[in-house]
Amino acid sequence: MAESGQRLGQLLVRAGVISDKQLTDAIQVHTATGSPLGRVLVDLGYATQGAILAVMASQIGIPYIDFTSRRPDPVAVTLVPKELAQRYALMPVCMSEEGELIVAMADPQNVLALDDLRIITGHEIKAAISTKDEIMAAIEEHYQVAEHTEMDTFIGTEDMDHAELDALTDVTSEAPIVKLVNFVIQKAVAERASDIHIEPQENDLRVRFRIDGVLHEIMRSPRAIQAAVISRFKIMAEMDIAESRKPQDGHCAVTIGGTKIDFRVSTLPTVYGERVVLRILRKDAILLQLSDLGFLPVVLERFESSFRKPYGAILVTGPTGSGKSTSLYAAINVLNSPHRHILTAEDPVEYRLDGINQCQVAPKAGLTFARALRSFLRCSPDVILVGEIRDQETARIAIESALTGHLVLSTLHTNDAPGALTRLIEMGIEPFLVASALDCILAQRLARRLCSTCKQEYKPSEKMLLEAGYSPDNLPETLFKAKGCKKCGKTGYRGRMGVHEVLLVSEEISRLTVEEATAEKIKAVAIAEGMLTLRQDGLEKVRAGITSVEEIVRVIV
């Protein structure tokens, strides 16, 4: 065996990558075949190419980059053209504190590649090493910018005539900043994020995505580009980049692969600078049918029965971000027909629906939910949707509308369905009006679905099942839990579904409401009449292998 092979084997043993016996086995194969020792170790499954490279790199003083755990900085990525990265099998990683561009290379001794990088980027290059397969995979994953992303053109504010504002606007139009912003937006859409958070920190700029209701840190960029990145987002949303001391709201649109996607943009001053949140408005989310929202068949039947009546009130309750609006839109999709006059009052109107008359409330102009509702009643509607019942006046008009021949749908912030009855009474609505007007209350939460590719079956203990809330005489034998794979971003979950609680206001519940009974007493009667609680509904979805016990415990108190 060659002397270099002997040294490599000894280094790998000392590093704990392989054992003495594995080295002996590999040496025998190497001697018999003449194949390089490193290749033999990989073929035998004793070591990965990355592990061998990492040990070699530490010996020669070159950093090893493992792209399975290290994300390249998008700012660095924008400095090197994709064609050059593919030609030389290299991947920009980040900028060092000394201003050097750190680049992972399959061949860090390629002088031609290093010279080309210096000329094109204008930076000194610090070579690192990685496997060619990892580098090429990283190129495909992270060079997803610009080709299919087109920003709508915005003109910004009209009063940007100061020199420093002109300079800042120039910087935000430069290719690296534009590519970075495009990268963030396109990656968010590709990963099904609902929100993008751009957050200045003390030493850097943090970017997080909310995916399936949970925030994930995507990257951190140098603080030096903070002002340009945030100003780029503000210009896109037609905000005033000269104003950084007050919150601002705006709107922008992006075309990705021929599909137009709208964003609601908000800024908020913080101690380290303005933070920006972009809410991704996906029209496909509000075109869902009720059957797409994760209802159990028996629960869906109870909820749909409330639409058969020509009048009455239907409330959807839950905390912010629990999918109330999506459920309301799905219900409206069921009701929408040329024979019905549907009016909505929303704050804001995020989605335009064909065949429906939508009204944007504007409190500053005096157009509140209550005033919009009063106007609606003079327009002879069949169905009224109120974005949210926030105060007594809105609640009273909505209840009275339901009693005078209109079908009223709205949302209310309560923890469960029975709590909506007592909440309306606490707001000052007479109990007999509440009992007479309300037909159905839907409480809901959003839980993550287990990734269908990697979910793992297991046999739970009886104690765990009882603590979760399963009935002792109906325990499931096997359940599934999250594992994590590339498809789900190592989270074990992909997509979300609703967990529901449907209370139908029966004669007995009406009587209890008039008597101002407690929510707990109303809940007990509702369960006796066939209502599944949020937890029971969630546990049935765990039994079906759709989600996990841990996820239901996380979202339902």
The answer to which of 4-18, 143-157, 213-227, 436-450 has the lowest mean pLDDT is 143-157
Q: Once rounded to an integer, what is the mean pLDDT over residues 190-194?
A: 87
Q: Specify the pLDDT at position 146.
A: 39
Peptide linkage before 348 cis (omega within 30 of 0): yes
Extract the tokens encoding 373.
Answer: 């509702």
CA distance 280 to 264: 7
Q: Specify the pLDDT at position 307.
A: 81
Q: Specify the pLDDT at position 77.
A: 83
Q: Name the residue with higher pLDDT: 48 or 226.
A: 226
Q: C-alpha dihedral over 285, 287, 290, 296, to 10 degrees?
A: -40
The edge-to-edge listing of strands for the beta sheet with 407-412 is 357-360, 342-346, 383-386, 407-412, 312-317, 438-450, 493-504
CA distance 121 to 114: 11
pLDDT band at 552 (very low <50, low <70, confident <90, very high): very high
Residues in the chain: 557
Q: Specify the pLDDT at position 159.
A: 38
Q: Specify the pLDDT at position 285.
A: 65
Which of 49-58, 307-316, 446-455 has maximum average pLDDT? 446-455
Cβ contacts of residue 226 below 8 Å, gap of 6+? 200, 205, 273
Q: Specify the pLDDT at position 198.
A: 95
Q: Specify the pLDDT at position 147.
A: 44
Q: Once rounded to an integer, what is the mean pLDDT over residues 42-71?
A: 76
Residue tagged 């007493």 (tokens): 521
Q: What share of the chain is helix, strand, coil (3-state, %, to 5)?
A: 40, 25, 35
Write down the mean pLDDT value for the chain: 85
Per-residue pLDDT of 125-159, as tens digits, reads 988 888 888 888 888 877 764 344 444 433 333 33
Nearest CA among 144, 139, 130 for reference residue 190 = 144
Cβ contacts of residue 403 below 8 Å, gap of 6+? 311, 433, 436, 437
Using the predicted structure, report yes or no on whether residue 303 has a pLDDT greater than 80: yes
Q: Are 14 and 29 in contact (CB under 8 A)?
A: no
Nearest CA among 119, 125, 66 for reference residue 101 = 125
Residue tagged 């430069």 (tokens): 174
- 278-286: which pairs have CB atoms within 8 A and are 24 or more residues apart? 278/185, 278/188, 278/195, 278/196, 278/198, 278/233, 279/194, 279/195, 280/188, 280/189, 280/193, 280/194, 280/195, 280/196, 281/350, 281/351, 283/351, 285/326, 286/325, 286/326, 286/329, 286/330, 286/351, 286/353
* Residue type for position 505: V
CA distance 372 to 268: 29
Q: Once rounded to an integer, what is the mean pLDDT over residues 161-187?
A: 65
Q: Rounded to a whole number, what is the largest CA-CA distance in the chain? A: 94
pLDDT band at 60 (very low <50, low <70, confident <90, very high): low
Using the predicted structure, report yes or no on whether residue 42 has a pLDDT greater than 90: no
Q: Once rounded to an integer, what is the mean pLDDT over residues 377-392?
A: 90
* Residue type for position 30: H
The answer to which of 125-134, 206-215, 401-410, 461-470 has the lowest mean pLDDT is 125-134
Using the predicted structure, report yes or no on whether residue 12 has a pLDDT greater than 70: yes
Give Cα 28 to chain centroid, integer Å.
Answer: 52
Q: Once rounded to an integer, what is the mean pLDDT over residues 515-543?
A: 94
Q: Specify the pLDDT at position 92.
A: 92
Q: Once rounded to an integer, what is the mean pLDDT over residues 300-313?
A: 88
Q: Are 268 and 274 in contact (CB under 8 A)?
A: yes
3-class DSSP state of 285: helix
Residue tagged 């943009």 (tokens): 265
Q: Are 205 and 224 in contact (CB under 8 A)?
A: no
Using the predicted structure, report yes or no on whether residue 276 has a pLDDT greater than 70: yes
Using the predicted structure, report yes or no on whether residue 274 has a pLDDT greater than 70: yes
Residue tagged 């970017």 (tokens): 207
Using the predicted structure, report yes or no on whether residue 164 has a pLDDT greater than 50: no
User: Could you write out the DSSP letters of every residue in 82-126?
Assistant: HHHHHHHTEEEEEE-TTSPEEEEESSTT-HHHHHHHHHHH-S-EE
Q: Once rounded to an integer, what is the mean pLDDT over residues 253-276?
A: 88
Q: Between β-strands 493-504 and 438-450, what pairing exists: parallel, antiparallel or unpaired?
A: antiparallel
Taking each helix axis from N to C terminus, what angle separates 418-426 and 519-528, rounded to the nearest 10 degrees?
150
Q: Specify the pLDDT at position 158.
A: 36
Per-residue pLDDT of 386-441, as tens digits, reads 988 988 999 999 999 999 889 999 999 999 999 999 999 999 999 999 999 999 99
Share above pLDDT 90 across residues of the chain, in percent, rounded to a whole number = 39
Using the predicted structure, report yes or no on whether residue 14 has a pLDDT greater than 50: yes
User: Could you write out the DSSP letters of every residue in 141-191?
Assistant: HH---SSSEEEPP----TT--SHHHHHHHHHHTSHHHHHHHHHHHHHHHHT
The continuous run of DSSP H or E covering 537 comes out as helix 534-543
The answer to which of 20-29, 148-157, 292-301, 485-494 has the lowest mean pLDDT is 148-157
CA distance 183 to 146: 8
Q: Once rounded to an integer, what is the mean pLDDT over residues 196-205?
A: 92
Which of 44-58, 215-229, 381-395 has maximum average pLDDT? 381-395
The answer to which of 232-246, 273-287, 505-519 has the lowest mean pLDDT is 273-287
